[in-house]
Structures are given as C-alpha cells and as structure tokens.
A = this chain, B = another copy of it.
Amino acid sequence: MATLGEIAAVSGTRLQGGDRSAVITGVASLDRAESGQLSFLIHPRYQHYLSTTRAAAVILSPNDAAVCPVPTLIADNPHVAYARAATLFEPVAEAHEGFHPTAWVHPTAQIAADAWIGPHCTVEAGAIIEAGVQIGPHCVVGEQAIIGEASRLVAQVTICHRVRLGRRVLVHPGAVIGSDGFGLALEQDRRWLKVPQLGSVQIGDDVEIGANTTIDRGALEDTVIEDGAKLDNQIQVAHNVRIGAHSALAGCVGIAGSVRIGRHCMLGGGVGVAGHLTIADRVQVTGMSLVTQSITQAGVYSSGLAVEPNRLWNKISARLRRLDELFRRLTALERTIKRQDGSV
C-alpha cells in the first residue's frame, strides 16, 4: 500500500487530477484495474483500454494524459516510472542475517556480518561473501569465489571456484556460473582430450542472470559479463566470451567460445552466435537468428524465417533446394533473350 503522493515521488512523475493522500492498494493492467489500484499505459497496443479504465490513477506519457478519465501520473518515460512505482508493491522480502542452521560454511570463508546464508547452502573454503548479500536456499559458493555487496542468489544457484560477482548482482534459480568450458583437443586416434579450463568468470555490477542459464569459465583468461548486462533464462555463454555493458540477451540464446559482444546490444530469443566473432555496440539481432560473421555496424540483423502452413512450406523448402538451378536457368534464359534481341 502506498499513497498517490508517495508513488509520484518514487516514480518521478507529476500527479494530475488526483489527491496525494489517496491510498493505492495494488497494481493492475488498464482493463483489469479496480478502484484503489494503480495502472499504466506503456505500449500503444493497450491505449484503447484507457477511456474505460477504472484504475485509481494511471502512469502515462504527457500525450496520453489528455484523454485519461482518471487521475494521471505523468512521465516522459512511463515504463521507467512504472518500474519504480511497482517497487512499492513488491512483497517485502524479509532481510535475514547470519547463517541458517542447515547451511554449511567452511571455517575459512569470510562472511559479512549482515549477509545471509540460507537453508542447505554450501560455502566453500576461502569464499568471500560481502555486505548485504542474500543467499537463498540450496546455493553452492565454491572455493575462493567472491559474491559482491548486496548481491542475491535466489535459490539452487551454483557459483564455481574463483568466480567473482560484482555488486547488486541478481542470479535466478538453477543458474550455473563458472562451469568448465567445452575445450577439447583431438588426439591422433580421434579421441577427445580435455583441455584444462584455467580461467574463471567475472561478473560486473548490476548484472541479472536468469534461471538455468550457464556461463562457462575461461580456458585461460576469464569469461566476462560487464556491468548492467541482463541475461534471461536458459542462456548458454561459452568460455572466454565477453558481453558488453548494458547488453540484454533474451531466453535460450547460445554464445559460442571467445565471442565479444558490444555494449547496449540486444539479442532476441534463441539467437546463436558462432565462435570467435566480434559484435559491435548497439547491435540488435532478432529472434532465432544465426550470426556467423562479425558485425561491425550498429543496426538490426535477422535470419529467422516465420512459419507458413506446412504444405506451402514443404513446397518452398523443396524449391529452395533447387535455388542454384533456378539462378542458372534464369541466366541461360537471359542469354537466349539477349541473343534473340540481337537476332531480331
């Protein structure tokens, strides 16, 4: 619960047509909000719900404010304003301190006095857990790993030996940081010999890492995720990769070894990037595309193909197989015509 005045202050919005002391009980979408609830208009897709909303107040842009039938909280960037306002309605996660009785912490680990080590956690020799860190149930923090100030491991997270997390890093359940890279040398007899993975992983400040995402340790130097980068669920980051600051990777992305991704990049869901490539700053790649060469210019790139009815698609893909033939037939025809044109 919060008053409209508090919401305006936290969200940095200008309240118009409402009472600063009015109490708001929760948040809901425009079409579902009941009296007493806060709503928001971020995407034009939902604008048609505005005229009939029953929300107590709506966070929106100056342009949309004119046609809103209820009190407004006006922001140049309503998405950011909403994100700030919504923090007032999050369930307050009780901050814990100390160790849960079922946690196991090696005597040489250094744990800040106000940090929390949750149920059934394991913190191994020489690990450092800095101030304000919250480690949820069933996490493993390996030998000499460092968890920076105010970071949070939600649950079932594995941080391998010597991995270093910055400050305010948020890691979701099932994520694995610092597993061995996939380094293999082919022997004479075509067996694979494991290449020791001597590097580690370095995660910057304010990074978020999604559920069941995996980030491998470097073969030699460290795998690096720079400040403010955001990784969704089920992402695979191979060894020696560097992901630039404030880049965002959607679910199921796979990044092969030694790739360098610039700052402020956005990779859509399921994108794959082949090994040893460099991607410039501010590059966007749309969902399920494959990057096989370095990208040197900011811009939007794609190679995903959208579904068609199966019968049509079967025809198309059969034709595609004959595309080379098609070009050759066309070229032959062009020559014939040219000859005819000459002869006519």
Contact = CB atoms under 8 A, between A and B. Distances in A.
A185 to B, nearest CB: 4
Contact of A306 (B234, B269, B317): B317
Interface string A299-314: 1111111111110111
Contacts of A14: none
Nearest to A329: B330
A103 to B, nearest CB: 9
Contacts of A27: 198, 220
A303 B313 contact: yes
Contacts of A84: 193
Interface stretch (A1-9, A15-23, A288-296): A288-296
B320 A304 contact: no
A27 to B, nearest CB: 6
Given A179-B172, A187-B77, A195-B86, A308 B319 contact: no
A165 interface: no
Contacts of A173: 140, 158, 160, 176, 179
A188 B344 contact: no
A330 B326 contact: yes
Interface in A106-165: 118-120, 122, 124, 136-138, 140, 142, 154-156, 158, 160-162
A307 B317 contact: no
A213 to B, nearest CB: 8
A182 B195 contact: no
Contacts of A310: 286, 299-302
Contacts of A333: 330, 333-334, 337
Interface residues of A, number: 134
A319 B329 contact: no
17 contacts: A28-B221, A32-B221, A83-B194, A118-B122, A122-B137, A154-B179, A174-B212, A190-B264, A252-B272, A272-B288, A299-B309, A302-B314, A303-B305, A303-B313, A322-B327, A333-B333, A333-B334
Interface of A: 27-29, 32, 45, 77, 79-80, 82-84, 86-87, 89-91, 100-102, 104, 118-120, 122, 124, 136-138, 140, 142, 154-156, 158, 160-162, 170, 172-174, 176, 179-180, 182-188, 190-196, 198, 206, 208, 210-212, 214, 216, 220-221, 228, 230, 232-234, 236, 238, 246, 248, 250-252, 254, 256, 264, 269-270, 272, 274, 276, 285-293, 295, 299-310, 312-317, 319-324, 326-327, 329-330, 333-334, 336-337, 340-341, 343-344
Q: 4 closest A-B pairs (Cβ-Cβ)?
A: A179-B211, A79-B185, A300-B310, A301-B307
Given A156-B176, A182-B232, 13 more contacts: A27-B198, A83-B193, A118-B122, A158-B174, A192-B246, A236-B251, A254-B269, A292-B304, A293-B306, A299-B310, A323-B323, A330-B333, A337-B340
